[in-house]
Amino acid sequence: MAEFQEVSKQSGLHPKPAGLVLQYGTAGFRTNAKDLDHVMFRMGLLATLRSKKTKATIGVMVTASHNPEEDNGVKLVDPMGEMVTPTWEGYATQLANADQEANVFVGKDTRYMTISDHPYNNILSQAVLDGVSALGGKSKDYGLVTTPQLHYMVCCQNTQGKYGEATVEGYYKKLCQAFIQLTKNASNCTDDQKHLTVDGANGIGALKVREMESHLKKELHISLFNDGSKGKLNHQCGADFVKVQQKAPTGIEMNPGERCCSYDGDADRIIYYYSDSKGQFHLLDGDKIATLISTFLKELLTQAGLDLQIAVVQTAYANGSSTRYLEDTMKVIVRCTKTGVKHLHHAAQEFDIGVYFEANGHGTVLFSKAAQEKIQQLAENTGTDDERKRAALLLQNTVNVINQTVGDAISDMLLIEAILAIKSMTVQQWDAIYSDLPNRQLKVKVSDRRVIDTTDAERRAVSPDGLQEAIDGLVKKYRQARSFVRPSGTEDVVRVYAEAETQESADDLAHEVSLAVYRLAGGVGGEPKPLH
């Protein structure tokens, strides 16, 4: 805290001359010495930040080398003595030229609010706001919002309102209007079709979906459970619990055949499920969602006569059946990236339409600028024939119901509900598009998980020696089997994934691969135990 106040106070003592713009050149900033005071101060700040980032000492050299005596300059030196990386040259230019107009939007979820009167989340977001103001930035505190809502606000702001209005009301209006326009195309939609059970994970998503309800004009009837009024955040509920445990969350009432969905704690993931008449639980994960959405989009593109390339981006955790269905039956391009949304998002940007979902239910759809323009032209062109126009309008509203900035449980839910309504599809029919291969995920503790290095989008291990050969040998024993291991990026474990023709085979394979990891990659604690 103290240093930020100091920064703020000090910053006023080193004002930037009005209108002066300098560029980080080949060798740093260089100009007449009288114009460099603010640059020096700010490069001090930048060097401090870079030092913290690299956990190393950073050099600042004040010199103008061979320039005339009245000039001076400054260069930043990176940890290994090399010049500061080019990306940071850009930051340096921006910081030196900043008219103190940093603008930061801050939001928070409901975390800790369930602990009686504990003000933790206020303290934390206030610390962020203080940090921004200490560096002279402007900020806007959105208070309680979902993660994707905050992403949406930032995008609205930086597109000068083209993406939408940067308010929570604006978000509801845009998404719900698009949803209502879409569902107008659902003829004879029954009350059963309009009903959805939502598990809010006792988090921010519950609050926000309730806030949004009036905008839906009764086109969707939501029964909300785990709304935070009594249960604990993410405890025995929420998207991650449902996906990993492959069972229904506690705290909800499920009737056979009824569609249910779960959000996660900050509402950027969604998972669907239902239980059949025999009480058997069925999960519809991110792969099923990606398949439903891409099927819908592909049909609309054909009807609209639009030649746009559509791709689905997955990770190694995608069920093998989903990949096969997408490639062989739907004939769409499928890409596999490393785990982590930033990788999927990046890959999806390369296509006219990129549908990306992690199996755990985090995902969205990206439309290139050109694709959006083509759709809009067709929708607005008066000469377009009726069928093409209808499809183009549906595509346009689909674009609007989607939060393209990031995976968004609420937006994804509205899109899925609209698709099911338009196609008059039950959750069972959706589930029957393809059958998941039984699968199992396990974790193995090792002394240093970095000994495992992978390649081919994490599907093959290149170290330690012998591990991949061992996995290959085990996989051969089972039908329709696949398995891979990778160090988690968020927990101190090695994750093991296996799928096979039967649940028993998937479980056995996962166990045997866990043993191989334990033996070859420095397992700690007791040996992994068989599941049966």
SS3 188: coil
Whether the Cβ atoms of residue 419 and residue 489 lie closer than 8 Å to each other: no
The verdict on whether residue 99 carries a ligand-binding annotation is no
| H or E element, residue 36 | none
Contact 265, 234 (CB under 8 A): yes
Are 399 and 372 in contact, with CB atoms under 8 Å apart? yes
Binding partner of residue 505 among Mg ion, ligand GN1, none, CB under 5 to 8 Å per kind? none
Contacted entry of ligand GN1, Mg ion, none for residue 64, CB cut-off 5 to 8 Å set by kind: none
- Part of the chain binding ligand GN1 (CB under 6 A), chosen from 95-103, 170-178, 289-297, 333-341: 333-341
Least distance from C-beta 492 to ligand GN1, angstroms?
A: 10
State the residue number with the nearest CB to ligand GN1: 489
Considering only residues 138-177, where is the footprint of ligand GN1 by CB under 6 A?
A: none
What residue type is 127 in one-letter code?
A
Q: For residue 322, how many C-alpha atoms fall within 13 Å in the half-sphere facing its CB?
A: 33
Query: H/E element holding 221?
Result: strand 221-225
Closest distance between ligand GN1 and the C-beta of residue 19, in Å? Answer: 44
| Cβ count within 10 A of residue 122 | 13
Give me the least distance between CB of 487 and Mg ion, in Å please: 21
**Contacting residue, 192, 380, 491, 492, with ligand GN1 by CB under 6 A:** 491
What is the layout of strands, in order, in the sheet containing 310-315?
333-337, 310-315, 353-357, 363-367
What residues between 339 and 398 interact with ligand GN1 by CB under 6 A?
339-341, 358, 360
User: Pick from 489, 490, 511: which is nearest to 500 by CA?
Assistant: 511
Q: Minimum distance between the CB of residue 491 and Mg ion, rounded to whole angstroms?
A: 15
CB 201 within 8 A of CB 261: no
Q: How far is the CB of 63 from ligand GN1 (least distance, A)?
A: 44
Closest approach, Cβ 351 to ligand GN1, in A, equals 21
Annotate 89-138 with DSSP letters as a single string. Answer: HHHHHHHHH--S--EEEEEE--TTTTSTT--HHHHHHHHHHHHHHHTT-E
* Piece of the chain touching ligand GN1 by CB under 6 A; list 83-91, 124-132, 277-285, 482-490: 482-490
Residues 325-384 close enough to bind Mg ion by CB under 5 A: none
Q: Is 359 labelled as part of a ligand binding site?
A: yes
Closer CB to ligand GN1, 50 or 343, in the complex: 343
Residue nearest to Mg ion (CB): 268
Q: Binding residue for ligand GN1 (CB under 6 A) from 23, 245, 250, 488?
A: 488
340 binds, among Mg ion, ligand GN1, none (CB under 5 to 8 A by kind): ligand GN1
Taking the CA atoms of residue 203, residue 208, residue 209 and residue 215 in that order, the dihedral angle to the nearest 10 degrees is 180
Both structure tokens of 108 = 């928070």
Asked if 365 and 293 count as a contact pair (C-beta separation under 8 A), the reply is: yes
487 marked ligand binding residue: yes
Q: Is 490 in the site for ligand GN1 (CB under 6 A)?
A: yes
In angstroms, rounded to a whole number, what is the distance separating the alpha carbons of residues 332 and 433?
15
Query: Closer CB to ligand GN1, residue 310 or residue 316?
Result: 316
489 assigned ligand-binding residue = yes
Nearest Cα residue to 375 out of 279, 303, 281, 483: 303
Interacting residues with Mg ion between 256 and 285 (CB under 5 A): 264, 266, 268
Residue 507 interacting partner from Mg ion, ligand GN1, none (CB closer than 5 to 8 Å by kind)? none
Q: Is 13 exposed, middle or buried (0-12, 13-18, 19+ CB in 10 A)?
A: exposed
Binder of ligand GN1 out of 15, 59, 119, 489 (CB under 6 A):
489
Q: Is 65 annotated as a binding residue?
A: yes
In 3-state terms, what secondary structure has residue 219?
A: coil
What is the rounded CA–CA span in Å between residue 238 and residue 200? 7
266-325: contacts with ligand GN1 (CB under 6 A) = 317
Backbone angles phi, psi at 318, to 5 degrees: -65, 140
The DSSP element (H or E) to which 149 belongs, if any, is helix 147-158
Which is closer to ligand GN1, CB of 294 or CB of 360?
A: 360
What are the residue numbers of the active site? 65
Specify the stretch interacting with ligand GN1 by CB under 6 A; choose among 151-159, 179-187, 255-263, 490-498: 490-498
From residue 387 to residue 426, the character string flagging contacts with ligand GN1 as x (rule: CB under 6 A) and all else as - is: ----------------------------------------
Q: Is 490 annotated as a binding residue?
A: yes
Q: Residue 181 contacts by C-beta under 8 Å, 6 or more apart in sequence? A: 393, 397
Residue 238 or 354 having the CB closest to Mg ion: 238
Using CB under 6 A, count the residues that bind ligand GN1.
Answer: 11
466 binds, among ligand GN1, Mg ion, none (CB under 5 to 8 A by kind): none
- HSE value, Cβ hemisphere, 13 Å, CA-based, for 175: 30
Residue 116 labelled as part of a binding site: no
* Rounded distance between C-alpha atoms, residue 365 and residue 370, angstroms: 15
| Best CA proximity match to 185, nearest among 394, 495, 357, 346 | 394
Contact predicate 219/256, CB 8 Å: no
119 assigned ligand-binding residue: no
Q: Nearest approach, Cβ of 133 to ligand GN1 (angstroms)?
A: 30
Cβ 527 to Mg ion shortest distance, Å: 33
Structure tokens given for 119: 């003000």
Point out which residues bind ligand GN1 (CB under 6 A). 317, 339-341, 358, 360, 488-491, 495
Point out which residues bind Mg ion (CB under 5 A). 264, 266, 268
Tell me the binding residues for Mg(2+): 65, 264, 266, 268
Tell me the binding residues: 65, 264, 266, 268, 358-360, 486-490, 495
Tell me the binding residues for substrate: 358-360, 486-490, 495
